[in-house]
Amino acid sequence: MAQQHRGEETRNRILDAAQECFARDGYDVAGIAEICQAAGVSKGAFYHHFASKQALFLELLQRWLSALDTQLRTALAQEPSVPDALRAMAVTGRQVFQVADGRLPLFLEFWNKAGHDSEIWQATISPYRQYRGFFAQVIAQGIAQGTLRPVDPETAAMAVVSLAVGLIVQGVLDPEGADWGEALSASVTILLEGLAQE
């Protein structure tokens, strides 16, 4: 029983170490040995918990996605007006930039690998489509409320998601180049200017 607890903890140590190594070196370059050393476990322990490097990666991915999902939903639930909700999400996003800190490159890693590996692709694409649908729904709701202009919700959702994705990529590429959390807020503001009913 105490065994199981210890196992769980080891598992988490590996997960954390992997997150760091993947973010720093990239999925392909980071080696199992490196991850194990960072986690302070042996390779045997690693393969006791994970079937393969890819399985570990997938698990990391799903961690991220579920966290993101709950964040977005709570932001929506708490604000009655849709523009306010979107601004709230932007604020949430700022935290993402700060919290994810060194972990931000993982996004690029995920997206990149999704293009080369069908299993990762499936795990990435389905929640991603979900997000797009989520924003489309939010925007449609805003139009119904009369707080947003009558644009095509799908298209607008794409724009929103693109903005977020693009900022993440820039944030990874050039972390010192700007305050990306701030940029997110500002960009959303501009976008809302284009979307909101005057």
Partner DNA sequence: ACCACCGGGACAACCCGTTCCT
Partner DNA sequence: AGGAACGGGTTGTCCCGGTGGT
Binding mask 83-112 for a second copy (x = CB under 8 A): ----------------------x--xx-xx
Find the binder of DNA among 15, 19, 49, 61 (CB under 7 A).
49
Minimum distance of DNA from residue 45's CB (angstroms): 3
Binding mask 13-32 for DNA (x = CB under 7 A): -----------------xxx
Find the binder of a second copy among 124, 143, 147, 153 (CB under 8 A).
124
Q: Does 3 participate in binding DNA (rule CB under 7 A)?
A: yes
Q: Does 43 participate in binding DNA (rule CB under 7 A)?
A: yes
Candidates 43-51, 54-62, 70-78, 147-155: pick the segment binding a second copy (CB under 8 A): 147-155
Q: Which of 16, 11, 53 is nearest to 38 (CA)?
A: 16
DSSP codes joined into one string, the chain: -HHHHHHHHHHHHHHHHHHHHHHHH-TTTS-HHHHHHHHT--HHHHHHH-SSHHHHHHHHHHHHHHHHHHHHHHHHHH-SSHHHHHHHHHHHHHHHHHHHGGGTHHHHHHHHHHTT-HHHHHHHHHHHHHHHHHHHHHHHHHHHHTSB-S--HHHHHHHHHHHHHHHHHHHHH-TTSS-HHHHHHHHHHHHHHHHB--
Provide the binding-site residues for DNA, judged by CB under 7 A. 1-4, 6-11, 30-34, 41-49, 51-54
Positions in the binding site for a second copy (CB under 8 A): 24-29, 105, 108-109, 111-116, 121, 124-125, 128-129, 132, 149, 151-152, 154-156, 158-159, 161-167, 169-170, 172-174, 177-178, 183, 186-187, 190-195
